[in-house]
Amino acid sequence: MIKNKVIVIAGPTAVGKTALSIEIAKAYDGEIINGDSQQVYQDVHIGTAKATEEEQEAIKHHLIDIRALSETFSAHDFVRAANHAIADVLASGKLPIIVGGTGLYLQSLIEGYHLGGQGNHEEMRALRQKLDLLSDEDLFAQVSSHGIEIVQPNRRRAIRALELVTFGGDAENIVSDYEFMIIGLNMDRNGLYERINQRVDKMMAVGLLTEAKMLYDTLPDAQVARAIGYKEFFPYFSGQGTLEDAIELVKRNSRRYSKRQITWFKNRMAVDFLDVFASDFKAQASQKIERFLDDSN
């Protein structure tokens, strides 16, 4: 039933991705793969909004706490690590569920390439959209016209081959053989902003300031130290701002980041969002999953 299928739960910060992923994993015998750029780091749990210890004990999680604070992590690293994690989850007979809000990471994995700062992303996306409109016959005819031979040909491999012919070295071949289905989560902007503000307050209550001070004292230039939720406190620690201003800045930057996330998913990945506040929200999510996993479709 599962074969090479992967569920992706995407959406802005604080929308409820973790809670839904736990429910889906329990209902469909799945394991969760982190798709957030900051949760890969060890020793920072509050500001990165990781699943709780109880949640991680209930459902196995992958790609959490896999980097030291002093290390870096890129979209390139994520694609390789995520593909390995997906293979491990499928080998165990479980359903892989990727959960995160880092659009570049998810897009790089799903679309099967990583530009590494080179090439024209919009041109590549336009080509992919054009090829998607072709019939199987026309698509494979184009592949044949370039003298390309594909083992076990399918549309994904055919499109990937034509991208590589067109863009050459600008498109590194980290193509994924998995079939992805995205469940996008969103809600009314005012409701989302209120959730973000409340989450920052909860983070402060359980020790966010201590995490931020640890980074300030030990690794102020680390990649994770530049993340929203940490960097805003640095002026306070250096005596150049108030704690109240720092907290408000975390909330403001988080709200702005959520807007950028939604824009990325809508414009770059064409994600159709489910309204978390809808009365039948969970039923809609279940229907999408059932259709996706149904081999008869």
184 in a labelled binding site: no
89 in a labelled binding site: no
12 in a labelled binding site: yes
11 in a labelled binding site: yes
- Does residue 44 contact residue 38 with C-beta atoms inside 8 Å? yes
15 in a labelled binding site: yes
210 in a labelled binding site: no
13 in a labelled binding site: yes
18 in a labelled binding site: yes
Known binding site: residues?
11-18
Known binding site for substrate: residues?
13-18
Known binding site for ATP: residues?
11-18
